């Protein structure tokens, strides 16, 4: 996910995206615990995406 795409979103869309990414992260963690997850790098990528969304949200709050 690119920062430019996130900048174009509204606050509500970003908050919804964070919720969506967090639920996806929960599912991946569950798969990791049960041994079903093949690509463990997906977890770190999702964490970075969540951080990007939260950073953009914070910037929009300050503006």
Q: What is the pLDDT along the chain (63 residues), one digit of tens a residue?
A: 788 999 999 999 999 999 999 999 999 999 999 999 999 999 999 999 999 999 999 999 987
Give the pTM.
0.90
Write down all domains in the chain, each with its CATH number in brackets. Answer: 3-62 (1.10.287.310)
Please say whether the beta carbons of 25 and 50 come within 8 A: yes
Give which of 63, 53, 51 is closest to 14, Cα–Cα.
53
What residue spans of 1-63 are helical by DSSP H?
A: 3-8, 11-34, 41-62
């Amino acid at each position: 996910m690119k920062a430019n795409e996130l900048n174009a979103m509204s606050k509500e869309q970003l908050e919804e995206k964070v919720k969506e990414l967090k639920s996806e992260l929960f599912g991946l963690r569950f798969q990791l615990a049960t041994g079903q997850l093949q690509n463990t790098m997906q977890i770190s990528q999702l964490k970075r995406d969540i951080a990007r969304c939260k950073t953009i949200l914070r910037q929009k709050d300050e503006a």
